[in-house]
Structure 1
Amino acid sequence: MNNQQLSAATFLLTDQDDYSADQERLNRAIMQFIKDHWHHDEHAVFVLTGDAGTGKSAAIARTFSHIQRLARQKSGFLAGSQNNLLVNHQEMLKIYQEVAGADTVLHKKDFAKPTPFINDHAKTGVRNDITFVDEAHLLLTQPDRFNRFDQHNQLTEIIRHSRVVVLVFDPHQVLKLKSYWDWPRLHAVIDHYPHQIFDLSHQFRIKGAQTVADWINAFTAGQILPIPATDHYDFHVYTDGTPLYQHVRMVNQRHGLARMLATADFPFTVFGNKTWYVHAGSLRLPWDKINMTSTPWAQLPKTINEVGSIYTIQGFDLNYAGIVLGPAIGYDPHTQKLQIHLDQYQDTEAFKNRSDIPDLAQAKTQIIRNSLNVLLKRGRLGVGIYATDPNLRQALIEAAQESGRP
């Protein structure tokens, strides 16, 4: 698979996509930040933030590649420097390593998950020079024996073992309590060090339709606005899951990378041989299985017959996303607001209790809203929605009719 195919299938920009002025400015800002702190003994942290789809991962991947090119030259201030890019997301790690295999500058060992990086550096005591962290909002904020992380905060440990840290942070993509982040929690870590925060705003993923991104932002906050009418984005509401799935299959045949996705409020287990299903009206499709291959889920042809989850698809681009909103996402016709039913959410791993979060119900509610944000912003060319809750389904249909959309 060449870089063009990889780009079309992932968070990376294709060759036809120009980098925004913000991204060019970001690259210069990161390089200047590194130079400013290169000869200091203290640690320093550069934070990149921005909405889903603004090209954060693509931008830091480009900058990291540039840094590694300089690190592997014989001269220059970065020559011989030891640098890594970390991501706590197995499917995204596959893409980074796949890109490295097709690149003469990057090596697969340049990319790793946070826990092995932390544990290795704790043993050797050797400090990394520059550590990039993609999807830093997935870093653990408590010990996790399953992941072999015994300390209390992965970001704190990464900073401890690095001269400069460059991280991507979006609190609206936090999906588990064990990696619960918000801006106050981030500042509690980075305010101990020199730091800079850079915001990206240009929307890359949702093609030509900022109004769609604005609608999704309002929806995840609880408000249903009229569905935007745009010729540049295929945005429809469905009264049943079967026609939605048929449309996904049609788009997949024409353009590729169209998949069904759902909120995590249909029963499932991660391990075991039992097949669990997502129900959407007359539609019944199996949940995605654990992907033991080196190919990301969305690139496997057979997954057109499955339903992906937030963990499968976070950070990736699809051409079209068919979204099933499960029973945890309801609607109150009297208040005209979304209702979040915590007791209907089936992702028990996401809701493992913590004693250090004052308002646990609010944190859990925000995690479900974040999952909506992640799912609804996957489609580059379009999104289709089916809601299992009758009140929500009717409200969405009326919102579509207001703009003349089916």
Structure 2
Amino acid sequence: MPDLAQSTFILPQDATLTSEQSALEQRIWAFINDNHNTTSTHLLIISGDAGAGKSVVLDAAFAQLQKAARATSGELAGTDNKLLVNHNEMLKIYKEIAGTKSYFRKKDFMKPTPFINAYRKAGKRADVVLIDEGHLLLTMPDPYNKFRGHNQLADILQLARVVVLVFDFHQLVKLKSFWTPALLKRVTRDYAVTHYHLTEQMRVGDAAVNDWIDHFVRGKMLPLPHPQHFDFQVFSDGQPMYDLIQRRDAETGLSRMVATADYPFTVLGGKTWYVQAGSLRLPWDKINFTDRPWAQRPETLHEVGSIYTIQGFDLNYAGVILGPSLGYDPSKDRLTVDLAQYQDKEAFKKRPDLADTTDAKAAIIMNAINILLKRAKHGLYLYAADPALRQRLLQLAK
């Protein structure tokens, strides 16, 4: 079996938290100890960019908490604690961890809706709830997932004494979980709230590349940096990029193709849907019924991943296909977005409470790009389907 730490937020056995991560773990531990006996709910919100190591710290803090909860004595012995994540692939990893540690139980890890429904039905409150990928919490009813409330965070805050929430506004990818700073403030205004921000970048292995991505997802086109220890390239065709990804995977592993959701697909029906990138044609990722993350399964080297299979996970090298929704305006030298080209209909499901979703939809597309571009530790390769954007990126690469 592959090392559980590969591509995931789980640290290898010989690795340790950074000083910033250790400081946050200690802050979480102090926050829990100070507040778990209070009658009111206390909330700690942890923010930070994709790749800042938020999930790494949350995993370490929850391990420390559950060791104390399952001890025979101590202030936290016997406490009822949960870690929630609204992401199927990440939940698989957490449950796999549970099978390897004596202080974890698989029931310690849940999706938000089952937690809300179970604790509300039982009429009880958890002592501590940690929420990973909190930006994926629903902000509207979702009958398909059996959530009949209006906001999952609001419900969780009523069902726990201490809540530790990992949150990143730049990783919102669906209207049904669309948050704004004003909404988060409104939902949490009746609670004692503490904020903590992680500033490190643990994934993209070069600060100049990370800065280029930050400008790009805001629409600004900058010359590509050429760092010594990070491979950053633009391709005029998808096939050579895929050829290089296959070589990188043979050399280092964890090298995959991913794409924006600009190519038709449906989850049901069993049909194979394809992504076209110049002369390259590869199938979209499939529903993963195994217990392994998408990037760790060898057959997925011959698929194209999406934000739903790669969000929250690491790659060594990423070949990113920027689909037709992304264009280029030469008069302004800026990236453009065409909402009509985006094929993820689930992401754009109607919201009766939002009068105009145009800006929200554009933000979702740019957030998805940010997620894809910040997957790789050692190399990032780009291909743009739009000819004008592709030509401009090739110019910037020179």
The interval holding the TM-score normalised by the smaller chain is: over 0.9
Q: Deviations over 1:159-197 (max 9, x none)?
A: 111110101000100000000012211111112100101
- 1:358 is displaced (CA, Å) by 4.2
1:279-318 pair list within 5 angstroms: 279-318=276-315
On the 8 A contact 2:51/2:202 being kept in 1, the answer is yes
Of 252, 257, 263, which aligns to 1:260?
Answer: 257
- Residue 26 (structure 1) aligned with residue 24 (structure 2): yes
On the 8 A contact 1:87/1:136 being kept in 2, the answer is yes
Question: In the alignment, which residue of structure 1 is the partner of 2:143?
Answer: 145
Question: In the alignment, which residue of structure 1 is the partner of 2:7?
Answer: 9
- 1:274 is displaced (CA, Å) by 1.3
- 1:47 is displaced (CA, Å) by 0.5
Of 188, 196, 221, which aligns to 1:224?
Answer: 221
| Partner-residue secondary structure (3-state), 1:397 | helix
- Residue 40 (structure 1) aligned with residue 34 (structure 2): no
Question: In the alignment, which residue of structure 2 is the partner of 1:393?
Answer: 390
On the 8 A contact 2:36/2:128 being kept in 1, the answer is no
Question: In the alignment, which residue of structure 1 is the partner of 2:379?
Answer: 382
Paired with 1:17 and 1:320, the residues of 2 have a C-alpha distance of 21
Structure 2 runs not aligned, ≥5 long:
none
Calculate the TM-score normalised by the size of structure 1. 0.96
- 1:9 is displaced (CA, Å) by 2.2
Q: Deviations over 1:35-65 (max 9, x none)?
A: 2222210011110000000000001000000
| Partner-residue secondary structure (3-state), 1:7 | coil
Paired with 1:359 and 1:380, the residues of 2 have a C-alpha distance of 37
Q: Which amino acid aligns with 2:86?
A: N
Residues 216 and 35 of structure 1, relative CA distance in 2, 3 Å threshold: same
Paired with 2:345 and 2:143, the residues of 1 have a C-alpha distance of 17
- 1:16 is displaced (CA, Å) by 5.0
Of 52, 55, 75, which aligns to 1:54?
Answer: 52
Q: Deviations over 1:341-368 (max 9, x none)?
A: 0000000110012132243100000000
- 1:300 is displaced (CA, Å) by 1.0
- 1:273 is displaced (CA, Å) by 1.5
Of 202, 209, 212, which aligns to 1:212?
Answer: 209
Question: In the alignment, which residue of structure 2 is the partner of 1:118?
Answer: 116
Of 191, 199, 202, which aligns to 1:201?
Answer: 199
Paired with 1:263 and 1:190, the residues of 2 have a C-alpha distance of 33
- Residue 337 (structure 1) aligned with residue 330 (structure 2): no
| Partner-residue secondary structure (3-state), 1:146 | helix
Paired with 2:370 and 2:385, the residues of 1 have a C-alpha distance of 18
Q: Which amino acid aligns with 1:365?
A: A
Count, aligned residues: 398
On the 8 A contact 1:20/1:202 being kept in 2, the answer is no
Of 352, 355, 363, which aligns to 1:355?
Answer: 352
- 1:30 is displaced (CA, Å) by 1.1
Question: In the alignment, which residue of structure 2 is the partner of 1:68?
Answer: 66
On the 8 A contact 1:258/1:304 being kept in 2, the answer is yes
Could you tell me the percent identity over the aligned residues?
Answer: 52
Paired with 2:45 and 2:9, the residues of 1 have a C-alpha distance of 19
Q: Deviations over 1:125-174 (max 9, x none)?
A: 12101000000000100000100001111111111111101010001000
On the 8 A contact 2:258/2:321 being kept in 1, the answer is yes
- Residue 364 (structure 1) aligned with residue 382 (structure 2): no
Larger mean CA deviation between 266-275 and 97-106 belongs to: 97-106
